[in-house]
Amino acid sequence: MSKILIRGAKVLGGEPQDVLIDGETIAATARQGEIDWSGTGIEAGDATVVEAAGQILLPGLVDLHTHLREPGREDSETVLTGTKAAAVGGFTAVHAMANTFPVADTAGVVEQVWRLGKESGYCDVQPIGAVTVGLEGKKLAELGAMHDSAAGVKVFSDDGKCVDDAVIMRRALEYVKAFDGVVAQHAQEPRLTEGAQMNEGVVSAELGLGGWPAVAEESIIARDVLLAAHVGSRVHICHLSTAGSVEIVRWAKSKGWNVTAEVTPHHLLLTDELVRSYNPVYKVNPPLRTEADVMALREALADGTIDCVATDHAPHPHEDKDCEWAAAAMGMVGLETALSVVQQTMVETGMIDWAGVADRMSFRPAAIGRLDGHGRPVSAGEPANLTLVDPAYRGVVDPAGFASRSRNTPYEGRELPGRVTHTFLRGRATVVDGKLA
């Protein structure tokens, strides 16, 4: 069993500490240089030392929203390449979205993804099950069977498509109560977004691109929080993107309703002004919004209205982005840049501290997904899922160096702060000195 001593890391941004890992668990934590070795049964000299002065130690990051593309679109990503990207980004667990080919709407498909995750070894993969058969919004998928499968699905989502039928949504919300599941809604009123290409507003008017109005998101969120309240279920809102959505979620929470929400890193940083380049690397769903929306999302993440950051990592092959805007696929890769974007937009602006990062990127997403073994405190006896970050690092994003199979990042050439130096998955280093182990 491996023994690792992480020396002098600021745990959740606090005072420097030493953290001793023994096998799959954290054996001891103490102020720097003060570990009581006698109680651990380990000789001080036996542990591999990771010098972590100046670095931040976080619980392993958890992503509630990842597209791993396998099965079906292995040209853009596989479970193996996606989990490598996750590890590089500091994640120890990701939730794999259901919009694969075939759709993850049966126990068979979710078990396949779950098994591929086990085999990858870089990151835990928790499959998400589709709410409706084929994501078609017509007929409930076998939610119970997926939950009862080896994959143990607890999060269900038709992400990419909205469960727009109010009755189907109501039934899904009710049905998953039986096994403490949650429905993660991709809030997009389909009729209001026919032909939509970007945020509807000043820029879309000028560029002549079909508008995706904020109200198409907000109206669904309003309906779903009311439904969740009515049937006493919990609902999770995927990639919330507008100031109006924030207001609705804030209101729902003030009522004590069981509503959670996520925001993507790109919606915390980028605006629809970038679409003026017609470069499809900025094409994403929901679309990049306005500066006012970005600021509202940051506030909401800081005050807890938005519970967590989720990447919506959406890999696409080069040819699906190297074309005109209308023909391009929607989505951006995000696993490898998520923490840096959060550091820039939330930590360096003073809106949250590193403990807040741990909360929004590990504790809360794990709690929403009811994910065992992740999002745990950094303390003795806990699973050694850990991420070590060098916050002083400054680097320019170069997609050529990505572990992901796809390169569709909106941050190419942009300087972002911070770097994950080490990731530990149950005590095993998946990333060492910023490189895959």
Could you tell me which stretch among 158-166, 228-236, 276-284, 408-416 binds other proteins (CB under 8 A)? 276-284
| Rounded least distance, CB 14 to other proteins, Å | 47
| Rounded least distance, CB 328 to other proteins, Å | 6
Among 44, 323, 392, 396, binds other proteins (CB under 8 A): 323
Comparing CB distances to other proteins, the nearer of 209 and 301 is: 209
| Rounded least distance, CB 329 to other proteins, Å | 9
Residues in 160-219 at the binding interface with other proteins, rule: CB under 8 A: 197, 200-211, 213
Among 324, 350, 400, 413, binds other proteins (CB under 8 A): 324
Comparing CB distances to other proteins, the nearer of 195 and 350 is: 195
Partners of 59 in beta bridges: 386
| Rounded least distance, CB 206 to other proteins, Å | 7
With CA atoms as reference, report the closest residue to 286 among 238, 250, 327.
238
Residues in 347-406 at the binding interface with other proteins, rule: CB under 8 A: none
Q: Please tell me the count of residues contacting other proteins according to CB under 8 A.
A: 26
Q: Look up 224 and say whether it is catalytic.
A: no
- Catalytic residue, chosen from 22, 312, 320, 359, is 312
Does 292 sit near other proteins (CB under 8 A)? no
Comparing CB distances to other proteins, the nearer of 106 and 197 is: 197
Comparing CB distances to other proteins, the nearer of 275 and 341 is: 275
| Rounded least distance, CB 296 to other proteins, Å | 19
Among 119, 139, 277, 348, binds other proteins (CB under 8 A): 277
* CA 111 distance to own-chain centroid: 21
| Rounded least distance, CB 202 to other proteins, Å | 4
Catalytic residues: 312
- Residues at the contact surface with other proteins, assessed by CB under 8 A: 197, 200-211, 213, 277-279, 319-320, 322-328
